[in-house]
Amino acid sequence: MSVLILTLSACGKSAESSSSSKKQVLNLSATAPLDTIDISKASGYGQTGNVFESFYRLGKNGKVTPGLAKSGTVSKDGKTWTFKLRNAKWSNGAKITAQDFVYSWRRTLNPKTKSTYSYLFGGVQNADAVSSGKKDPSSVGISAPDSKTVVIKLNKPIAYFKVLMAYPLFGPQNQKIVEKYGKKYATKAQYMVYSGPFKIKKWNGTGNKWQFVKNNQYWDKKVVKLQKINYLVVGSPTTGQELYQQGKLDLTPLAGQQVKNFKTSSQFKQYPYSYVSYLQYNFKDGDAVKRTAMNNRNIRLALSLAIDRNVLTKKILGNGSLTPKGFVASELANDPKTGTDFADQQYVKNTVERNTKLAKQYWAKGMKEIGQKKLKLTLLASNDDSNSTVIAQYLQSAYAKVLSGLSIEVNSIPSNNAQQNALQGNFDIYLSGWGGDFSDPITFLQIPETDTAYNYGKYSSAKYDELIARAQNADANDPSKRWSDLVQAARLLNSDQGMTPVYQQVTAYLQKNDIKGIIHNTAGTQWNYKYAYKK
């Protein structure tokens, strides 16, 4: 997706004049402690995109805005990108150089690092061979002809490469600092240097409190109004509301009844996120009867059509979450020609809407085909996420009412254990979920490809694989053709119900009225506080 570089000057003068008289400190909550501040090992950058920066940043509406690169150009064949760096410094005052990017990419792709996100480098020359240990990290297609120039060589054009380069994963790391601290690197706030608008303080690797403090070495520090962001891990929305009403938090998430209570308040805000919860079916189930059932399209369609997603989102979750139209989240990406949301184009009638009559017909047909009158399936779900627990309970009840002869046993365990079980194929149906890493449909559509890491149920469709391969290779440099390939693939997945979408996350918040300039994106780095301020 070709996106123009935009300069974001919102919150400029008005912020300056109105914010100087007020203490520029933001008090925020987090649902869990920061697990790591090592960009090579992180599995998300929702917050830490504020302390680490890549060639670009994500601005309003997921648009690419300037980061450490002054400019970025791509060759006609789409395979060579050249970035010119601006005069930027690390938080310790050292210069950020092109070599810092080269070092960072090699470190992340080195199999010894065990990066969970190394697959996102796919398409960069030799990246896959390096991450699988077949080639030396020095062979990765990134070089630094001089201290201000980074050249990246791709095997093929990557349509979403520019927006990908706004992800902190692709940012620089300071080799001297990594080597100076050795095993201590990134284990505490002080064993790190920062390239973004803020730096971290008072983080010791665990702990329920930490701070982001303005980075006075940051290249664009003049637009950063906040002096400090205080983070506190808060266990429940109820506790969050209490702290908010005591003036100890400026922003707090709401759930269930709280949403109804505060919906008319001027402090009520909703922030959508491209997280879709979905069911994965085990196509390689160890039990022969269950395996036959999971491979039966009529049974999968019945399981999807028996779900009342309106009841689920509006009454049970009650937090503003959306009913999905397919596997790809809405408000993620728009048609390059018409501007239509991809989510609308992927929709296939009678696949994801409640239709109990049709569900029963599909069920009866499917059960006859597999020669069974009764079916007992286990639903694997995580129990440390309140949404997963209530959804699993709802599905158990809905299926018992609509689908005759089906009984669901819920195996609700901690998310890490659930994921391990899924990885080993120890499930019949797995209540899974995915949040988009960048604003392109492929961030979702790569999951159902045969043999990808997150395709726990081993769904496989030759036609689907062919369409994704065409989008990523033959049509990669033609935005319209590529888009058409992806729409066809998504529609095929919907028709097949190879994976069944359940809901799309929208989180409701209470936000103090004097907080301005927060940028929230549906994918990638969700929270951008670079332009935030207190009025």
Give bridge partners of residue 272 from the DSSP assignment: 506
Is residue 249 situated within a structural domain?
Answer: no
Closest CA to 445 of 327, 313, 283, 343: 327
Is residue 264 situated within a structural domain?
Answer: no
Is residue 213 situated within a structural domain?
Answer: yes
Are residues 321 and 464 both part of a single domain? yes
Are residues 381 and 358 both part of a single domain? yes
Cα–Cα dist 233/225, whole Å:
24
Coil, strand or helix at 478:
coil
Cα–Cα dist 524/509, whole Å:
20
For residues 37 and 110, is the Cβ–Cβ distance under 8 A? no
Q: What was the pLDDT predicted at 315?
A: 87
Cα–Cα dist 522/362, whole Å:
35
Helix (H) / strand (E) containing 509: strand 499-511
The answer to whether residue 10 scores a pLDDT higher than 60 is no
The answer to whether residue 66 scores a pLDDT higher than 90 is yes
The answer to whether residue 467 scores a pLDDT higher than 60 is yes
Are residues 461 and 517 both part of a single domain? no
Scored b (16 or more CB within 10 A) or e, 159-187 reads bbbbbbbbbbbbbbbbbebbeeeeeebbb
Is residue 16 situated within a structural domain?
Answer: no
The answer to whether residue 347 scores a pLDDT higher than 90 is yes
The answer to whether residue 4 scores a pLDDT higher than 50 is no
For the segment 278-284, the average pLDDT, to the nearest whole number, is 98
Give bridge partners of residue 233 from the DSSP assignment: 30
For helices 356-370 and 297-305, give the axis angle rounded to 10 degrees.
Answer: 150
Identity of the residue numbered 393: Q
pLDDT in tens, 378-393: 999 998 777 888 899 9
Are residues 464 and 528 both part of a single domain? no
Is residue 261 situated within a structural domain?
Answer: no
Residues 6+ apart with CB under 8 A from 315: none
Are residues 286 and 167 both part of a single domain? no
Residues 6+ apart with CB under 8 A from 338: none
Are residues 430 and 488 both part of a single domain? yes
Helix (H) / strand (E) containing 338: none
Q: What was the pLDDT predicted at 61?
A: 80
Is residue 499 situated within a structural domain?
Answer: yes
Our count of domains for the chain comes to 2
The answer to whether residue 57 scores a pLDDT higher than 70 is yes
Residues 6+ apart with CB under 8 A from 395: 307, 379, 408, 431, 502
For helices 356-370 and 386-402, give the axis angle rounded to 10 degrees.
Answer: 80
Cα–Cα dist 156/152, whole Å:
12
Give the residue, 502 or 119, on which the prediction is more confident.
502
Mean pLDDT of the chain: 92
Reported as a pLDDT band with limits 50, 70 and 90, residue 16 is very low
The answer to whether residue 8 scores a pLDDT higher than 80 is no
The answer to whether residue 413 scores a pLDDT higher than 80 is yes
For residues 66 and 85, is the Cβ–Cβ distance under 8 A? no
Coil, strand or helix at 370:
helix
User: Residue 127 sits in a domain of what CATH number?
Assistant: 3.90.76.10
For the segment 54-72, the average pLDDT, to the nearest whole number, is 93
Q: What was the pLDDT predicted at 318?
A: 79
Q: What was the pLDDT predicted at 464?
A: 98
For residues 215 and 91, is the Cβ–Cβ distance under 8 A? yes
Cα–Cα dist 333/13, whole Å:
32
- How far separated are the first and last CA of the chain, in Å rounded? 36
Q: What was the pLDDT predicted at 395?
A: 96
pLDDT in tens, 144-180: 999 999 999 999 999 899 999 999 999 999 999 999 9
Are residues 284 and 398 both part of a single domain? yes
The answer to whether residue 365 scores a pLDDT higher than 90 is yes
CA distances from 157 to 75, 163, 445 (A): 10, 13, 18
pLDDT in tens, 174-217: 999 999 999 999 999 999 999 999 999 999 988 899 999 999 99
Is residue 176 situated within a structural domain?
Answer: yes
Per the structure, the complete domain to which residue 429 belongs is given by 272-507
Within 13 Å of residue 535, how many CA atoms lie on the same side as its CB? 11
Cα–Cα dist 20/498, whole Å:
55
pLDDT in tens, 81-93: 999 999 999 999 9
Are residues 396 and 328 both part of a single domain? yes
Is residue 53 situated within a structural domain?
Answer: yes
For the segment 49-60, the average pLDDT, to the nearest whole number, is 94
Are residues 148 and 206 both part of a single domain? yes
Cα–Cα dist 98/110, whole Å:
19
For the segment 502-508, the average pLDDT, to the nearest whole number, is 91
pLDDT in tens, 124-143: 999 999 999 999 999 999 99
Cα–Cα dist 212/144, whole Å:
31
Are residues 388 and 411 both part of a single domain? yes
Task: At 522, list the tokens.
Answer: 């549906």
Are residues 436 and 518 both part of a single domain? no
Residues 6+ apart with CB under 8 A from 145: 98, 151
User: Residue 290 sits in a domain of what CATH number?
Assistant: 3.10.105.10
Are residues 431 and 493 both part of a single domain? yes
The answer to whether residue 11 scores a pLDDT higher than 80 is no
